[in-house]
């Protein structure tokens, strides 16, 4: 899940990036409304976390422009403007949710999980394919009802594949879900994660589509090895 954080308070932005990355999110950060709009036009994220008090544009104006260029993009507003009127104005301007500063990180994470469920292709909090079950709420994966241990990157990669069952996920798309702009990514990072997942899930669960990417299907197929 790729998040674009739009926040000009650098200490706050640094803390948020660190906390969100620990939860497995890929986080990119910009400090202005202009940079936010430019970024979305080039590399659209899954979710935007937007501060309203930006140095160049008012956050409400950014919200309105986002509605014109990416109307379906979920936006969570973070702001010190906590009055009821300001909240209503923000929601009416296009925000999907509103969190007043200061806030607890646990509450922000809960709001993001709601967005994740909305974005998922499944309406359930669990996804079961063959003998593998992924619990989105608990961040757990079981194989034949036995819990297995996955790294954060492995979990997010598997989640992306299982939420898009039958659809090919390219390596570049998977990288964008797992890594932020400034993270150093080895050229074979996705292949390594896939290799580890196959050792834990079985070699036939994730299929390689040569020269394109990876996918998970309901029907059993022989997987190409890396």
Which CA distances in Å does 26 have to 3, 60, 131, 146, 217? 6, 25, 28, 28, 25
pLDDT class of 218 with cuts at 50, 70, 90: confident
Q: Which fold has domain 126-215?
A: Arc Repressor Mutant, subunit A (1.10.10)
Which pLDDT score is estimated for 222? 47
Banded model confidence at residue 225, pLDDT cuts 50, 70, 90 = very low
pLDDT of amino acid 224: 47
Does residue 181 surpass a pLDDT of 60?
A: yes
Query: What is the maximum span of the chain, computed from C-alpha positions, in angstroms?
Result: 58
Report pLDDT for 123.
56
Q: Model's pTM, two decimal places?
A: 0.75
**Which regions of the chain carry the CATH code 1.10.10.10?**
126-215
Indicate the SS3 state at residue 146. Answer: strand
Architecture of domain 2-119: 3-Layer(aba) Sandwich (3.40)
pLDDT of 223 above 50: no
Reported as a single tens digit per residue, the pLDDT across 94-105 is 889 989 888 999
Among 71, 80, 77, which residue's Cα sits nearest to residue 98?
77
Q: What average pLDDT score do residues 36-61 get?
A: 91
Mean pLDDT of the chain: 87
Q: Write the CB contacts of 164 (distance below 8 Å, at least 6 apart in sequence).
A: 121, 215, 216
C-beta of residue 26 within 8 angstroms of C-beta of residue 4: no
In the chain, CATH 3.40.50.2300 sits at: 2-119
Rounded Cα gap, residues 91 and 184, in angstroms = 36
* Distance in Å from the first CA to the final CA of the chain: 24
Residues 145-176: tens digit of each pLDDT: 999 999 988 998 999 899 888 999 999 889 88
Long-range contact pairs involving 172-179 (C-beta distance under 8 Å, separation at least 24)? 173/213, 174/213, 174/214, 176/2, 176/26, 176/43, 177/1, 177/2, 177/26, 177/46, 178/26, 178/153, 179/26
* Lowest-confidence region among 33-47, 109-123, 172-186: 109-123
Percent pLDDT > 90 in the chain is 52
- Angstrom distance (rounded) from CA 192 to CA 73: 31
pLDDT of residue 118: 79
């Amino acid at each position: 899940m790729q998040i674009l954080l739009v926040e000009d308070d650098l200490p706050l932005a640094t803390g948020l990036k660190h906390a969100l990355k620990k939860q497995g999110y890929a986080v990119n950060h910009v400090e202005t409304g202009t940079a936010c709009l430019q970024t979305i036009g080039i590399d659209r994220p899954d979710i935007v976390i937007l501060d309203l008090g930006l140095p160049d544009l008012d956050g409400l104006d950014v919200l309105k422009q986002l509605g014109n260029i990416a109307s379906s993009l979920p936006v969570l507003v973070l702001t010190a403007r906590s009055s009821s009127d300001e909240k209503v104005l923000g929601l009416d301007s296009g925000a999907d949710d509103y969190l007043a500063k200061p806030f607890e990180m646990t509450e922000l994470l809960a709001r993001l999980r709601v967005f994740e469920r909305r974005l998922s292709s499944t309406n359930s909090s669990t996804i079961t394919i063959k003998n593998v079950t992924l619990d989105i709420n608990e961040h757990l994966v079981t194989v034949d009802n036995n819990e297995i241990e996955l790294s954060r990157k492995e979990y997010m990669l598997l989640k992306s594949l299982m939420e898009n069952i039958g659809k090919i996920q390219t390596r570049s798309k998977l990288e964008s879900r797992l890594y932020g702009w400034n993270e150093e990514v080895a050229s074979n990072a996705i292949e390594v994660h896939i290799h580890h997942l196959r050792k834990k899930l079985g070699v036939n669960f994730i299929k390689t589509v040569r020269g394109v990417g990876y996918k998970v299907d309901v029907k059993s197929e022989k997987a190409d090895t890396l």
